[in-house]
Structure 1
Amino acid sequence: MIFKKGEFFNGPGGIAQGAKMAKVIDKDGVEYKVEHEWANDIDESACQTFIQNICPDRPESVIHQDVKELDIEKLTPVDAFTFGFPCNDYSIVGEKKGLNGDYGPLYTYGIKVLRRFQPKWFIAENVSGLQSANEGQAFNVILRDLKDSGYKITPHLYRFQDYGVPQTRHRIIIVGIRNDINKEFRVPAPTHGIGKLPYKTALEALTIPPIPIDALNVEPTRHTSKVIEFLNHIPAGKNAWYEGIPLELRLNVKGAKMSQIYRRLHPEQPSYTVTGSGGGGTHMYHWSEPRALTNRERARLQTFPDDYEFKGGKEKVRQQIGMAVPPEGAKVIIEAILKTFAGIEYESIDSKWNDGHFVLEPELDFSTV
């Protein structure tokens, strides 16, 4: 069974790459998989990256256009739909305007697709800060609209390090299955952590196997001698506020001190969250070499394959990588959807969404693992 998939806000194709990798076979030998049908994004570089890696034989199927100007009626019917609607107004870092911002209402264009084509299932994705936007009301409005479009929904706050992604990345994923389909999606059980497989570390991600010499997107960041000296005084896992940094090198910053500033990876732990930013000491930094990570290293932490070519300038590429859903994480969720439709049992857990908030165990302190 093939599910033809449409996608809004496609970015560089993290979800689409996960969908390409996801396949299951039922007891009768029938293969369940996902095929790209069309996609849309406002960013030209992201569209070029998507075309290059997901559908090089069908460039016309990727529409570079503002979704607000897109004629949804001209799109072809789909069986599946995914949309990681822009998170700018929901992010923990920022003004958190929620539904009142420029980006907050963009989820409604995904709702229009659901109501127009009624695909069998959908995936909606956003940052964990979505649950607190507009004093918690934005998320409830979005959930209501998704349900009213004709779907049984399963929201969950996925901690991707629990699924083998070498990065502490938390994202809200909402899976919906159409009401008239007698199937119930269940959240796939974590595979990594205490009592399970070991967490995948930054060291494993960036060195096993070594990044090929001829790899793409490996342009280095140029550092001043002062930044190099500064980094040399910061141990693995520490940041710009480490007490061992000489006074004359310390940053003169008042107020909040972000933990990500000049923070070096710890080789024996998953990476901290890869983001789309890069200025002011937020490039992400190697644990032993006094330098920022290359975009290819950042892509490794995001689980993109080494032959995945990102288009655009260095800063555009960094933005694309940081905004993406890790393909390996997307694959886990999409394979669970395919197993649901194929009638294949899989280990699962209950959704942690309960009475207006997510109920999760405390975050693991990786320094103790």
Structure 2
Amino acid sequence: MSELSFRMGELFSGPGGMALGARLAANAVDGVELTHAWANDFDLDTCRTYRRNILVPEYGDEAKVVSSAADLPADGGGIVHQNVHDLGIEDLGPVEGFAFGFPCNDYSLVGEWKGLTGTYGPLYSYGVKVLATKRPKWFVAENVSGLRGANEGQAFKQILQHLQEPTDGLRYKLVPHLYSFDDYGVPQRRQRIVIVGIRADMDVEFRVPSPEIYKGADVSARTSLMSPPINLYAPNHEFTRQSQNVVDRLNLIEAGEHAFSPRVLEVLPDHLKIKTRTTISTTYKRLEPNKPAYTVTGAGGGGSHMYHWSANRALTNREKARLQSFPDDFVFEGLKNSVRKQVGMAVPVKGAEAIFTALFKSMAQVPYPSIEPNIDISEILATKPSTHR
């Protein structure tokens, strides 16, 4: 196998934003070939979406959704629908590259911020096990910006320590960076920490790609949703039927405002005001047409669905997918609520593409404009861990 031919594995793959970004990047860098060997996600609809859009183009009808890692096709082309706790990592095939967006629930700034003490916080360790056993040449890990502060910073430190040295005798050179994806061609203000690791025995240095490369991109919500217009019969483009109260409320909210904006609170009649103890600034918030959208999310009750800047309605899942930079021919499997979750949890395609393009150029020794990381790993890792895995 050529040095620049990579089999890629994924844990917590989501519907395929990371994978599609990696594929587009490989296609754009001369001399790089990428195949998707295996993936894993707990949600069945998500697995079906990944199979349809990522695996079928490579493997055709041989691509499979399986219920156990032991059932993966020997030559790749499968995604495991299974809880990661039950996943047989030893049954996963060899890979040269690895990606994982480990669940962010316990690191998000919205919520209890439990970090490593929460249900989802320790799940990164399964990625560490893949590194320790498969020894890929590179990996890409993604999480929310709140990861840095969870458990008074100790969670991030521990994660970096374990990713840097997954097992005795194996080390990775890490480059963590807080990316604002609207700087990289994504029509959405979405900040995420992405950690790129290169195996230490390789003479390769990853550098954070400069946003200057993408400076000319129009990342406004209007351009994203209107140029070109979405076909009325496009997949996942079902419109939500809004109640009269919602229509009346939105009619009094202007672009960029939300249900708790000072002006809105003055003009909303009492029966249209939101009676809650917490005031979330995205509740019934309208997009601003000439700016990137605010962050697309995958869950939440009334008022959390994202709202058009002028039409009195929530966005469709297809519109949200555009804000996540998915092409219109990327079809999400499942009912509307399932698709909403998949779109909101995905890594934006163009954001992933920018990072993987830099990674593959680094591997191919191709120069590109870069910037210094905005996270100082040497400062974070100044002291040794008190315990090992």
Residue in structure 2 matching 1:165, options 171, 179, 186: 186
Any conservation in 2 of the 1:22–1:33 contact (CA below 8 Å)?
Answer: no
Any conservation in 2 of the 1:167–1:270 contact (CA below 8 Å)?
Answer: yes
Which position in structure 2 is the counterpart of 1:71? 88
TM-score by length of 2: 0.88
CA distance in 2, matches of 1:340, 1:21: 16
Is 1:322 the counterpart of 2:344? The answer is yes
CA distance in 2, matches of 1:356, 1:257: 34
CA displacement, residues 174-203 of structure 1 (integer Å, 9 cap, x when unaligned) = 00000100111000001378xx42651000
Counterpart residue identity of residue 51, structure 1: R
Which position in structure 2 is the counterpart of 1:18? 21
CA distance in 2, matches of 1:118, 1:141: 20
Residue in structure 2 matching 1:238, options 239, 245, 257: 257
Q: 1:20-169 alignment to 2 at 5 Å?
A: 20-23=23-26, 31-56=31-56, 57=60, 58-60=63-65, 61-149=78-166, 150-169=171-190
Residue in structure 2 matching 1:197, options 211, 216, 221: 216
Any conservation in 2 of the 1:8–1:41 contact (CA below 8 Å)?
Answer: yes
CA distance in 2, matches of 1:98, 1:113: 21
Is 1:268 the counterpart of 2:290? The answer is yes
| Pairwise CA distance, 1:241 | 1.8
Counterpart residue identity of residue 124, structure 2: Y
| Pairwise CA distance, 1:256 | 3.2
CA displacement, residues 18-70 of structure 1 (integer Å, 9 cap, x when unaligned) = 011113677xxx52132100000111110010001001221241000011111
Gaps of 5+ in 2: 66-77, 382-389
Any conservation in 1 of the 2:259–2:274 contact (CA below 8 Å)?
Answer: no
CA distance in 2, matches of 1:179, 1:192: 28
| Pairwise CA distance, 1:85 | 0.3
CA displacement, residues 325-350 of structure 1 (integer Å, 9 cap, x when unaligned) = 00111001001010001110000001
| Pairwise CA distance, 1:13 | 0.6
Is 1:211 the counterpart of 2:214? The answer is no
| Pairwise CA distance, 1:279 | 1.2
Is the partner of 2:123 in helix, strand or coil?
helix
- Of residues 8-17 and 56-65 in structure 1, the stretch that sits farther from structure 2 once superposed is 56-65
CA distance in 1, matches of 2:172, 2:136: 10
TM-score by length of 1: 0.92
Any conservation in 2 of the 1:265–1:286 contact (CA below 8 Å)?
Answer: yes
- Of residues 116-125 and 30-39 in structure 1, the stretch that sits farther from structure 2 once superposed is 30-39
Q: 1:339-354 alignment to 2 at 5 Å?
A: 339-354=361-376
| Pairwise CA distance, 1:247 | 2.7
| Pairwise CA distance, 1:248 | 2.8
Is 1:229 the counterpart of 2:232? The answer is no
CA distance in 2, matches of 1:25, 1:309: 23
CA distance in 2, matches of 1:161, 1:230: 29
- What RMSD, in angstroms, separates the aligned Cα atoms of the two structures? 1.6
Gaps of 5+ in 1: 358-369
| Pairwise CA distance, 1:226 | 1.0
CA distance in 1, matches of 2:27, 2:332: 28
Is the partner of 2:174 in helix, strand or coil?
strand
CA distance in 2, matches of 1:254, 1:9: 33
| Pairwise CA distance, 1:253 | 3.0
Is the partner of 1:139 in helix, strand or coil?
helix
Which position in structure 2 is the counterpart of 1:186? 207
Any conservation in 2 of the 1:169–1:273 contact (CA below 8 Å)?
Answer: yes
Q: 1:357-368 alignment to 2 at 5 Å?
A: none
Any conservation in 2 of the 1:156–1:174 contact (CA below 8 Å)?
Answer: yes
Residue in structure 1 matching 2:12, options 9, 13, 22: 9
Is the partner of 2:32 in helix, strand or coil?
strand
| Pairwise CA distance, 1:356 | 3.6
How many residue pairs get aligned? The number is 352
CA distance in 2, matches of 1:64, 1:322: 19
Any conservation in 1 of the 2:213–2:369 contact (CA below 8 Å)?
Answer: no
In percent, how many aligned pairs have the same letter?
51
Which position in structure 1 is the counterpart of 2:384? none
CA displacement, residues 187-232 of structure 1 (integer Å, 9 cap, x when unaligned) = 0001378xx4265100000000111122000111121101101001
Counterpart residue identity of residue 153, structure 1: L
